Amino acid sequence: MNGLRLSRHRWAIATLLSLSLVLFFSFISPLFPATRTQTEVFNQVWETVQDNFYDPKMNGVDWKSLRKSYEPQVTAAKSKAEFAAVVNQMLAELKTSHTYYYTPEEPAYYQVLGIFVPRSSQLQKSVQQFLPKGKIEYSGIGIVTKEIKGKTFVSAIFDGSPAAQAGLQVGDQILSADDRPFHPIQSFAEKAGQPINLRIQRTPSANSQQDIKVTPKMLDATTMFLDAQKASTRIMQRNGKRLGYVHIWSYAGDQYQQQLEEDLIYGRLNNADGLILDLRDGWGGAPLTALNIFSKERDLSITSISRDGKRYVNYAQWNKPVVMIVNEGSRSAKEILAYAFQQYKIGPVIGTKTAGYVVAGRPFLMKDGSLLYVAVADVYVNGNERLEGKGVTPDVVVPAPIEYAQGADPQKERAIAALLAY
C-alpha cells in the first residue's frame, strides 16, 4: 500500500471520479391495452435513443434500419414481457452498457428510479402520475436472482433483508413461490407482511428440496441500499484480529460514503485491524473523495480526554490494511474505484473481472411509465483509459460459482486471508 502516493494524487482521483457521478445508475402497471400503445412506446424509445445516445453515429449501427426490422416483432408482442424483450434486443445491437429498457415487472425498475428521482426535479414531476402513493417501492424479500440453464438461482442477498432473516442462501435454486412459478415482482406483489412459501433446492440432488417461509416487505428504493450497507457492517474475529467488513450495494449518492467514513472513524469499524470493502453487485456511482479516506497521511486528528485522563485519538484517514472485493456485478463507478485502487496501490483487489459497464447513463420515463436507460456520454479514465467493454481484472482472481453454492463465499474468504497476511 502507498497511502502517501494516494494523498499526492487526491485531486487526480477526485477528477477521475467526478466522471462517475452520472454512471450509477410502487406501482404495477397493466399490460399494454393495444398494439397501438406498444407501437407508440416503441417509437418513443427509438427516438429517445436517437436524440440522446452518446455517439451520434450510433456506434456504427444503422439505427433507422433497425427500427424497421424490429417493428413487426413489436406489433406481434402479446405481453409486456415480450415487448420488453424485443426492445432490449434492439438496444443490445448498440453494444453499449447503460442502455436498457425496464418495466415495473422487475426490481431494477424501482431501483433505478430510487437512485435518480431524488436528484432530478424533472423526474420527480414526471413520475408523480405513476406513483400515487408518492413512494418508489415494491414488495420483495431482498434478493438478486440469475437464470442459469433455464433455472432460477439466488445470486445475491441484501444484508438484513427478509430473505437473509429467513435463511435463504446464495446458490439456492428457487422452484416455486406459494406453489406457483417464481417471479421477482409478481410472487410478492400485495403480499407485504404475509408469509409465503418458497420451494428451493440447495444441492444438485432433488433430495435437498425444502420449503422456506419468508415474509416480504415493502422495499423503499431510495433507502434500501443504505439499510443493507448498515446491516452488513460488522467486525469479524479471526486469529486474534478484528477484521472490519462492509458491503456497499450502491455508491449512487454521498450517503453511502458518509456512512462508511462515519463507521471507519467514529463507529463500529473504528477499532478494526483491517477492512474488507465489498463492492460486488448492486449499482455504481461514487463521491469525489471516495478513496481519500484510505490515505496513510494523518492530515487531521482529534484527541479526546475523558474524566479519568484516558486519551482517545481519531484520525481523518483510515491508515490500516484494506482489501477490495469485486465481481462481474460490480459496474460503472465501482469499476473506476477498483481501477484507482490498483493504480494507487491501496491494497489488493480480489474476485472476478468487473462488468465493463463504464459509460454515463441517464434514465427517461416513457409515456406508459416504463423506463429507458440511455448511455449519454462516453468515459475515459486518466484521459485515455476506456473501461467500457473491458472491465477491471482483480489482482487475485477467485471464481465464485453460483449454482448450489450453499452460501459459500470463496471471494470473501480469500479477502479475509489477505488481511490476516498483513
**What are the tens digits of pLDDT across the range 300-316?**
555 667 778 776 655 56
Give the CATH number for residue 32.
3.30.750.44
Q: Are residues 94 and 174 in the same domain?
A: no
Q: Are residues 201 and 328 in the same domain?
A: no
Mean pLDDT of the chain, nearest integer: 89
Burial of 32 (0-12, 13-18, 19+ CB in 10 A): buried
**Residue 305: what pLDDT?**
75
Q: Are residues 370 and 403 in the same domain?
A: no
Question: Are 295 and 317 within 8 A, CB to CB?
Answer: yes
**Residue 174: what pLDDT?**
98
> Half-sphere exposure (CA, 13 Å, Cβ side) for 28?
11
> Does residue 363 sit in helix, strand or coil?
strand
Give the CATH number for residue 147.
2.30.42.10
Angle of CA points 139, 173, 415, to nearest 5°:
90
Q: If we measure between CA atoms, which residue out of 162, 165, 160, 154 comes closest to residue 138?
A: 162
> Does residue 301 sit in helix, strand or coil?
strand
pLDDT (tens digit per residue) in 372-408: 999 999 999 988 999 999 999 999 999 999 999 999 9
> Does residue 336 sit in helix, strand or coil?
helix
**Residue 312: what pLDDT?**
61
Q: Which residue has the higher pLDDT, 265 or 164?
A: 164
Grid cell, residue 62, equals 444503422
Give the CATH number for residue 246.
3.90.226.10
Q: Are residues 214 and 290 in the same domain?
A: no
The last residue of one of the domains, among 204, 219, 234, is 219
Reported as a pLDDT band with limits 50, 70 and 90, residue 132 is confident
The last residue of one of the domains, among 219, 238, 268, is 219
Q: Are residues 227 and 289 in the same domain?
A: yes
pLDDT (tens digit per residue) in 325-371: 999 999 999 999 999 999 999 999 999 999 999 999 999 999 999 99
Question: Are 282 and 333 within 8 A, CB to CB?
Answer: no
Task: Quote the CA–CA distance of 71 and 175 in Å, as a whole number.
Answer: 35
**Residue 264: what pLDDT?**
95
Task: Quote the CA–CA distance of 205 and 318 in Å, as a whole number.
Answer: 46
pLDDT above 70: residue 7: no
Question: Are 160 and 231 within 8 A, CB to CB?
Answer: yes
Q: Which residue has the higher pLDDT, 306 or 124?
A: 124
Q: Are residues 351 and 244 in the same domain?
A: yes
Task: Quote the CA–CA distance of 371 and 159 in Å, as a whole number.
Answer: 27
Reported as a pLDDT band with limits 50, 70 and 90, residue 66 is very high
Question: Are 402 and 418 within 8 A, CB to CB?
Answer: no
Grid cell, residue 99, equals 442502455
- DSSP assignment letter at 266: T
**Residue 31: what pLDDT?**
38
The last residue of one of the domains, among 219, 245, 263, is 219
Task: Quote the CA–CA distance of 300 and 317 in Å, as a whole number.
Answer: 8
Q: What interhelical angle do 224-232 and 107-116 show, nearest 10?
A: 100
pLDDT above 80: residue 14: no
Q: Which residue has the higher pLDDT, 185 or 310?
A: 185
Domain that holds residue 405: 3-20+222-356+391-420
Q: Are residues 280 and 400 in the same domain?
A: yes
What residues contact 340, with CB distance under 8 A and at least 6 apart? 13, 16, 17, 291
Residues in the chain: 422
pLDDT (tens digit per residue) in 76-100: 999 999 999 999 999 999 999 999 9
**Residue 316: what pLDDT?**
65
**Residue 304: what pLDDT?**
66
What residues contact 64, with CB distance under 8 A and at least 6 apart? none
pLDDT (tens digit per residue) in 101-113: 999 999 999 999 9
pLDDT (tens digit per residue) in 222-231: 999 999 999 9
Q: Are residues 254 and 330 in the same domain?
A: yes
- In the chain, the number of structural domains is 3
Question: Are 276 and 245 within 8 A, CB to CB?
Answer: yes
Q: Are residues 262 and 405 in the same domain?
A: yes
Task: Quote the CA–CA distance of 356 and 101 in Å, as a whole number.
Answer: 19
Burial of 207 (0-12, 13-18, 19+ CB in 10 A): exposed
Q: Are residues 283 and 409 in the same domain?
A: yes
**Residue 1: what pLDDT?**
44
pLDDT above 50: residue 26: no
**Residue 109: what pLDDT?**
97
Q: Are residues 255 and 399 in the same domain?
A: yes
Q: Which residues pair with 244 in a beta bridge?
A: 235, 275
Question: Are 97 and 388 within 8 A, CB to CB?
Answer: yes
**Residue 299: what pLDDT?**
52
Least-confidence region, from 16-20, 37-41, 204-208, 356-360: 16-20
Q: Are residues 267 and 234 in the same domain?
A: yes
